[in-house]
């Protein structure tokens, strides 16, 4: 019997557009692409999510790939302010979470995210007051789909894998969860279908 619903954050609870902050500060399309790629599509970004690199070291590496002083300046500006512009709550998710919470289900978050999110996630995640636990990859030093992060989730909050249902937008992350005994659903943005699937699972 399912007792807990575990949510991913990006593209599930919170929409994310990598170049939104770049477009806020820049207008030249070539420079936007270069800065976005150097900062947000980089190995350093993954290392930040894994919690194995400090922000300042990551920023210096990102800037080193750019050629002009202005691009380097923009990269630093975007890096320091991305969380203010790149994310916003997905429509309808607050109502869904509150509904599940009111019916007595435990609500948890398991997300690949850097420590920066620890300073602002309460302002970003819809229905955050209903969550019983939050786990970010950078805090744990491992990330989805590694089995270690799911095991940390279960251990930290005293959960049984078979009593949890996981919602994530990446099939690989769902497969990782299933390898640890937690079934799940790949969310493709169709909230109506998600709600139907949850009702099917919870009634079963």
Distances (CA, A) of 71 to 23, 27, 44, 120, 147: 13, 12, 17, 26, 38
pLDDT, average across residues 82-107 = 97
Closest C-alpha among 198, 93, 10, 94 to residue 183: 198
Q: Taking the CA atoms of the chain, what radius of gyration do you get in angstroms?
A: 18
Residue 191 token pair: 């909230």
pLDDT tier at 62, thresholds 50, 70, 90: very high
| Percent of the chain at pLDDT exceeding 70 | 100
pLDDT tens column, 69-81: 999 999 999 999 9
Do 190 and 11 form a contact (C-beta atoms < 8 A)?
no
Q: How confident is the model at residue 204 (pLDDT cuts 50, 70, 90)?
A: confident
pTM given for the model: 0.95
pLDDT digits (tens, 9 = 90+) for 106-130: 999 999 999 999 999 999 999 999 9
If we measure between CA atoms, which residue out of 174, 204, 202, 199 comes closest to residue 188? 174
The chain-wide mean pLDDT, for the chain, equals 97
How many residues are there in the chain?
204
Dihedral pair phi/psi, residue 109, rounded to 5° = -120, 135
Number of H helices, E strands in the chain: 11, 7
């Amino acid at each position: 019997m399912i007792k807990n619903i575990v949510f991913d954050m990006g593209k599930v609870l919170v929409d994310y557009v990598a170049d939104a902050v770049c477009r806020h500060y820049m207008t030249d399309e070539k420079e936007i692409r270069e800065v976005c790629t150097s900062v947000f599509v980089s190995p350093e970004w993954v290392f930040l999510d894994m919690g194995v690199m400090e922000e300042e070291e990551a920023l210096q590496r990102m800037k080193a790939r750019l050629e002009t002083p202005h691009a380097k300046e923009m990269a630093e500006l975007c890096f320091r302010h991305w969380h203010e512009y790149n994310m916003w709550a997905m429509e309808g998710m607050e109502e869904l979470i509150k509904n599940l919470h009111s019916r007595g289900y435990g609500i948890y978050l398991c997300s690949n995210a850097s420590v920066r999110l620890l300073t602002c996630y309460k302002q970003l995640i819809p229905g955050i007051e209903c969550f019983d636990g939050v786990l970010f990859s950078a805090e744990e030093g491992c990330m989805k789909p590694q089995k270690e992060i799911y095991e940390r989730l279960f251990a930290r909050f005293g959960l049984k894998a078979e009593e949890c249902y996981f919602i994530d937008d990446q099939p690989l992350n769902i497969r990782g969860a299933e390898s640890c005994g937690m079934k799940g659903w790949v969310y493709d943005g169709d909230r109506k279908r998600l709600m139907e699937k949850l009702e099917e699972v919870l009634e079963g």
